[in-house]
Amino acid sequence: MSRHQGGCQCGQVRFAVELELDNAIQCNCSRCGKLGSVLAFADSASFALERGEDSLTEFRFNTHKVAHLFCRTCGIQSFGRGTAPNGQDVIAVNLRCLDGVDVFALKPQPVDGKSF
């Protein structure tokens, strides 16, 4: 586990998170595919929203189990909140929004979200 800082483009939303970059995924669902998100998951206890709760807007689709959160100012979706299949609360972090992380150096596992 490593600790990272991140946030949206305009800086209204900032967070800290501990997660493994080696577990990155790239999903092809209708949302992730259009956004180009590269995601990794952290348990909710490993995530701290440092500022911007009031700047977040939520979007839910399909099963409505994941709160896709994005900044109402710049529109960047830096993370989302959801529940893992085992019932654990998790945060899906868009690795493109982490400070100093080169997503092009990662090897995300493809996930066929279109089939879910």
In angstroms, the CA 58 to CA 56 distance is 7
Q: State the pLDDT confidence band at 112, using cuts at 50, 70 and 90.
A: confident
In angstroms, the CA 24 to CA 98 distance is 13
Q: State the pLDDT confidence band at 101, using cuts at 50, 70 and 90.
A: very high
| Structural domain boundaries in the chain | 2-115
In angstroms, the CA 20 to CA 43 distance is 11
Between residues 112 and 9, the one the model is more confident about: 9
Enter the tokens of residue 51.
């500022």
Q: Which CATH architecture has domain 2-115?
A: Beta Complex (2.170)
User: What digits encode the pLDDT tens for the residues 19-77?
Assistant: 999 999 998 888 888 889 999 999 999 999 999 999 999 988 777 778 999 999 999 99
